[in-house]
Amino acid sequence: MKNIKDKLIFALMFFLFVLVDQASKLWVIQHGSCGELACSYFKNDNFAFSLKVAHPIAYFIYAILLAALIVWFAKKKNKTTLINLSFVLILSGALSNIGERLVRGYVVDFIKIHTGVLNFADFFIIAGILILVFEKPTQN
């Protein structure tokens, strides 16, 4: 990121993404539904995409590896605004879910899709990964 204004914008986006994710989960917990939308309150005490994990410490190893990867990518030069956005999306989604797992012991999923039940944090992570896959760094 080039200047303090860019950093502030991305920091605000990070907090907004976490707020959207946590507020939507709180809404579903309190109301049990999403109104007219197809959703279902599901306590996910497994790993990403409901995969089973042998030991709870695996969540924390995942968090440390993810944070290290994000920091490593963030320090690389020649990043586009979209690549910076991808870091914000991935980090906000991952930290929102990890924080929730630490507080509740599980992650609230509620958005039904063909392959399972997800939450906004999951979509943020997926969007960030897709941006990283398709966006090319700038050349200087």
Q: Any idea which of 21-30, 48-57, 96-105 has the lowest mean pLDDT?
A: 48-57
- The structure tokens listed for 37 are 């939308």
Whole-number pLDDT of residue 139: 56
pLDDT in tens, 102-140: 888 889 998 888 777 889 999 999 999 999 888 876 655
pTM of the model: 0.81
**Which are the catalytic amino acids?**
109, 122
- Number of Cβ within 10 Å of residue 55's Cβ equals 8
pLDDT of 13 over the 60 cut: yes
d(CA 93, CA 122): 6
